[in-house]
A and B are shown apart, each in its own frame.
Chain A
Amino acid sequence: MHIHKYEKIWLIFGLTTLLIFLSVLGVSAFYLGNQPPSCLATINPEKVDTTKPFNKPGLKKVKGKAWDYELVFVASAFNYNPGEIEVPKGAKVKVIATTKDVIHGFEVAGTNINMMLEPGFISEFETTFDKTGEFLIVCNEYCGAGHHMMTSKIKVVES
């Protein structure tokens, strides 16, 4: 089969870039262990308030784990608990969140933290808060009449 020289060039170019992009994904998933925020951890949505760690939402220091803090959020129509939280700069935090009623969004504007909170499932995101500032949390899944009022705030402060 005859293939033009230029065709060979762009076929190799295309395949190489495809392989690079896919390798980045593969390294992220299988080596760095990145996974979707909601990854098979379940909870009884009717007993959120009495289930650990959601019985005490907020920031908690933990020991013996790969992260220093756990930041627990409970979402319900139409608010987040806690409504505002301070996090020390540089803290390695695991954000753990769930919802008591319908599907809510959990987007920390201007960051990579962006999860969907589904009733019955726990969503988690691990990150290091390495910039100070105020970060608005918004619901980005339409959840009802008060959807647009549903916010919270993370303040990253110098420790």
Chain B
Amino acid sequence: MAQPGLQKKTSTKTEDTSSLKGTLISVFLVGLFLIITWVGVFYLFMDRF
């Protein structure tokens, strides 16, 4: 027997989109990578003549 869809209750989970913790960590990982490589190249430049 056909079931009328209208009466079905669907529950959608809503994630808390305001949490940016993962984004913060990712941004700082990229930032640290940039700083470490920059400092590495700069050290190489200063060490050579």
Residues of A within 8 A of B (CB): 4, 6-7, 9-10, 13-14, 17, 21, 24, 110-113, 127-131
Contact = CB atoms under 8 A, between A and B. Distances in A.
B20 A7 contact: yes
Interface string B21-33: 1011001100100
27 contacts: A4-B18, A4-B20, A6-B20, A6-B21, A6-B23, A6-B24, A7-B20, A10-B24, A10-B27, A10-B28, A10-B31, A13-B28, A13-B31, A14-B31, A17-B31, A17-B35, A21-B38, A24-B42, A110-B48, A111-B48, A111-B49, A112-B45, A112-B48, A112-B49, A127-B49, A128-B49, A131-B49
Interface of B: 18, 20-21, 23-24, 27-28, 31, 34-35, 38, 42, 45, 48-49
